[in-house]
Amino acid sequence: MGQFGVLALATMVIAAEYSTGSIRSTLLWIPVRWRMLLAKCLVLFPVLFVVGVVLTPVGLGTAIVTLGDSAQPVDAGDAVGQALAIGGYLGAVGVIVVGIGAAVRSVAGTLTVGFLLMLVLPMTMQSTSVAFLSKAADYLPGPAGMNLMGVAENNAYGTGTAIALLASWALAANMAGYWVLRTRDA
């Protein structure tokens, strides 16, 4: 559920400037396009990381209280690991969405593409009877985040692979955004 808020916040970080026209001023003040994208990512990632780390104990505590005696016991080490994984995933989603927003240049478009990429496409691909599509869905950002947090149904790969996949998606999205910035907004 937290990724919806992250999707909206990250969308506003980049796409709101296009809707208000203030992107012209930003691009005048920062003529080197990649610096602008990098700066937005360097500000957004730590903010979302901290939000994830801080809100994880709230969610964990709520789940324990709600489930009562049927809740699985959680030790401090596991809780810290989960908090770091959730923070990292939310930060990565934010950086991916910044790249999408730079490429799409629209609030509605960025929200739509982000929602489709993070949730709809993985669920659709995993529900097909085509083995290749079902396996390929594991390498999209949403399932990579689930593997990072250790909550994926199939645990297709480990933490290192999940981090590499999320970083690759973030890089690809920002490269696409940079290409659009450089060619269309030059």
Residue with tokens 């609030």: 107
| CA pseudo-torsion sign 160, 60, 44, 107 | positive
pLDDT at 154: 80
Distance from C-alpha of 171 to C-alpha of 8, rounded to nearest angstrom: 20
pLDDT at 1: 66
Helices within the chain (DSSP H only): 2-20, 23-29, 33-67, 76-104, 107-115, 121-126, 131-136, 141-149, 159-184
pLDDT at 18: 86
Distance from C-alpha of 186 to C-alpha of 183, rounded to nearest angstrom: 6
Residue 53 CB coordination number (10 Å):
19
Distance from C-alpha of 70 to C-alpha of 68, rounded to nearest angstrom: 6
pLDDT at 73: 79
3-class state of residue 21 by DSSP: coil
10-residue stretch averages of pLDDT, the chain, 186 residues long: 85 89 86 91 97 92 84 82 94 96 93 93 89 90 90 83 96 96 79
Indicate the pTM of the whole model.
0.91
